[in-house]
Chains A and B, each alone.
Chain A
């Protein structure tokens, strides 16, 4: 039986690990490859690197970090952040990334995901969606009473007017192999994943969905899987600052009847 995945995410700036709280207030905390190795030993199922380097010209520290990590860790590695061209993808895959995560460029260039998926295969194309809840009275919701979620780009700074649920479906059609779904409202709050958002999208797409943004307790992961229908749950600071160990989390989930890979 396929197990639910636990994915630690490392925010990377200039080739070093940092962690943002609500996308600001960065704290430096070490070497990406070393961090990845620790997560590997603790039983992480995959690792995500999110590059938040401001200048897209300075990619070489990131590439170096990906290479060193892929040399040491024999588990799937996804790298996202700042991907603008097919060449960016090729460089990351060559450096040892197994998947790349595309966010802003998917919105800016309508055919980008389709082209990337055709060229490299859907299995390595993750579309990252940063979504923010829109109050029911705003036009985006088309009169629905549950509210809706709007897609934001540029690291959660710029609204697009695109409905997140429709966007996820369009991206699946374009050839996304997986959706990495982050709730901007919940990110950094430790108040739990946005379950409504996650379940809405998980039900409507046929590719795996990774829930992200808001994990603060072990129960939040359980809810993400069971109520949200997520295939994987991602967290960053929770693991990074050792507030929760992956081992302990998996033991908890297993005791609650969620199929996880015990190492």
Chain B
């Protein structure tokens, strides 16, 4: 069973319906027991890095997520659900992320994008340049479009990037470390490409 972690952040219904449309089933849950026992975990997330981490802790699901990950089963982070996999975030100084991947989450521009007339948030359809050979991209053409809406992005300090996107500068848009994968874009809002990616995650056996 796929468990979508419910910690009060994000459009969980969209994720659930997208999973249903690929013929899989999922449950939305904040029950630590269900999370630990899941076959696969999806960690969604919208809003601010700090709010997501605070909620994850106040719902008492952080430990359950850690236990699940420690078992080596597949997990998928989406948007801020990707960002909180890292150690900390510029958006919310002093609040620690899950620290499952080395690196920080930084604002997209660093004072650069406004010069080029690019807007923050990065909102809309952009392409992802894929690293070769990841199960997540099976059947999805390189440089396919996905839907983004975010102002921050991870700056990994280890070799986890498997997808890169150009928004004035290149940023890491897809990561993988062992059985944890995560996307900065929203697969559940990315039409056929997004559904294919979710289907690849669903069929992955780790």
- Enumerate chain A interface residues (CB-CB to B < 8 A): 1-5, 40, 45, 70-71, 74-76, 93-96, 98, 120-124, 177-178, 206-208, 229, 231-232, 261, 263
Interface of A is mostly: loop
Number of interface residues of B (CB under 8 A): 35
B189 near A208 (CB under 8 angstroms)? no
A208 near B123 (CB under 8 angstroms)? yes
B125 near A207 (CB under 8 angstroms)? no
Instruction: Report if A177-B190 is in contact (Cβ < 8 Å); known contacts: A70-B13, A76-B147.
Output: no
What are 20 residue pairs bridging A and B, where the CB atoms are less than 8 Å apart in the complex? A1-B126, A1-B127, A70-B13, A71-B17, A74-B14, A74-B189, A74-B191, A93-B11, A121-B47, A121-B48, A122-B151, A123-B46, A123-B149, A124-B46, A177-B149, A206-B119, A207-B119, A208-B119, A231-B124, A261-B125
Q: B99 at the A/B interface (Cβ < 8 Å)? A: no
Interface of B is mostly: mixed
Chain B residue contacts of A261, Cβ below 8 A: 125, 145
Closest CB of chain B to A47's CB: distance in Å?
11
Instruction: Report if A3-B125 is in contact (Cβ < 8 Å); known contacts: A74-B195, A96-B13, A121-B46.
Output: yes
Chain A residue contacts of B131, Cβ below 8 A: none
B191 near A40 (CB under 8 angstroms)? yes
Closest CB of chain A to B89's CB: distance in Å?
14
Interchain CA distance A4-B123 in the complex, whole Å:
10
B121 near A122 (CB under 8 angstroms)? yes
Closest CB of chain A to B141's CB: distance in Å?
12
A208 near B13 (CB under 8 angstroms)? no
Chain A residue contacts of B120, Cβ below 8 A: 206-207
Looking at the complex, which one of B14, B126, B151 makes contact with A70 (CB distance below 8 Å)? Answer: B14
Chain B residue with Cβ nearest A124:
B46
B124 near A123 (CB under 8 angstroms)? no
- The interface bits of chain B over 122-150 (1 if a CB of A lies within 8 angstroms of the residue's CB, else 0) are 11111100000000000000000101111
Chain A residue contacts of B46, Cβ below 8 A: 121, 123-124
Near A by CB (< 8 A), chain B positions 160-179 give 166-167
**Lowest 6 A-B CB distances belong to which pairs?**
A121-B47, A261-B125, A123-B149, A2-B126, A261-B145, A208-B119
Chain B residue contacts of A122, Cβ below 8 A: 121, 151
Interchain CA distance A71-B150 in the complex, whole Å:
23
B121 near A177 (CB under 8 angstroms)? yes
Chain B residue contacts of A5, Cβ below 8 A: 124-125
B11 near A96 (CB under 8 angstroms)? yes
